[in-house]
Amino acid sequence: MAAPLSPVEPAPASAPAERRPKSANQAVRIGAEPSTVARRLILGIIGGIFLIPVIAMIEFTFRNGLAGDYTTSHWTGLFTEDSARTYRGLYQAIENSLVLAAVTVAIVLVLLLPTMVLVHMQFPRLKRTLEFICIIPITVPAIVLVVGLAPVYSVVVQVLGGSTWTLAFAYGITVLPYAYRAIQGNLDAIPVKTLSEAASTLGAGWLTVLWTILLPNLRRGVLAASFISIAVVLGEFTIASLLNRRNLQTALLQVSQSDPWVAVIFALAALALAFILLLIIGRLGSATPSRRKS
């Protein structure tokens, strides 16, 4: 759970520590950083824990039944017309998940971002409250959330119909803690008040201020919030399953019961996508804005 948070503010934690010269007093210092060997060992073990299942998954997709020999037919089979028909449900579920991700991101951008900017500028005293509210979802297990959401959704279905995208309302809540942290970090780093006041004395209305002044300067935080939201939504199973909706994860579970190889292939693809998103976030966190040429 903590993993997606770290790329947003990576510099203070890791960068200076690595640059610190190795000096004699280092050994004396309590809590000194581990030696190179220890560091590699830790990295190796943790990397292994991550990699072994992934490698096992990849290996599994090439297996031919239980006989122990290998085949590429599970991969090539995916691209035949036949499979397109068989896995139509799965493709539909992927589409659902992508729509959900998009709507969730939209909720974050349209609701959370302006709220945070407003609170930051106009109602700084509400900052603590907003933070508290946004962090709550991380402490509530998905199952508990569903218990509360079930009656809500019976109303939602009546009003908006039962299509899958409505699930994004629930996802909008589950991604709050991550999105909040990503945006807040960026908000704290720029002089929001001064910049927007300067813009408004120059004739900009509040919408222009938000769009042409704040958004470009909040780019990093907003992108990070969006990618984290996407990653969370693509990996979500519990809520969708318990509310009887089809998304990528529920469909994968279903497929795995008939064709475990295909399920694993799709799981790998989802994992790769999430991994790429996190890598991009990491880069965003460390790189200076690209327009800043020197």
Partner 1 sequence: MTATFTMTGPTATHTPTAGATVQLSAVVKAFSGHTALNSIDLEVAPGELVALLGPSGCGKTTALRSISGLESIDSGRIVIDGVDVADTPTNKRDIGMVFQAYSLFPHMTVLENVEFGLKMRKVAAARRRERALETLDMVGLTKHRDRFAHQLSGGQQQRVALARALVTRPRVLLLDEPLSALDAKVRVQLREEIRRLQTELGITTVFVTHDQEEALAVADRVAVMRDGRIEQIGTPEELYATPANAFVADFVGLSNRMPAELVDGQVTLHGCSLNLLGDPMPDGPVIALVRPEDIALSADGIAGTVISSSFLGSLRRTRVRLFDDTVVAIQHEVERHPLPGEAVTVRLKGAPVSALPPKVKK
Q: Contact residues for partner 1 (CB under 8 A)?
A: 190-191, 194-195, 197-205, 208, 213, 216-217, 289, 291-292, 294
From the CB of 122, what's the least distance to partner 1, in Å? 12
From the CB of 206, what's the least distance to partner 1, in Å? 8
Cβ contact 195:217 at 8 Å: yes
From the CB of 224, what's the least distance to partner 1, in Å? 17
From the CB of 270, what's the least distance to partner 1, in Å? 34
CA-atom Rg of the chain in angstroms: 23
Distances (CA, A) of 77 to 65, 85, 93, 231, 270: 15, 12, 19, 27, 19
Cβ contact 75:58 at 8 Å: no
> With respect to partner 1, which residue has the nearer C-beta, 19 or 125?
125
Burial environment of residue 174 by CB neighbours within 10 A (0 to 12, 13 to 18, 19 or more): buried
Q: Output the CA torsion sign for 285, 290, 292, 294.
A: positive
> With respect to partner 1, which residue has the nearer C-beta, 110 or 202?
202
> With respect to partner 1, which residue has the nearer C-beta, 78 or 204?
204
From the CB of 10, what's the least distance to partner 1, in Å? 21
> With respect to partner 1, which residue has the nearer C-beta, 199 or 263?
199
Of 118, 137, 215, the C-alpha closest to 179 is: 137
> With respect to partner 1, which residue has the nearer C-beta, 133 or 202?
202
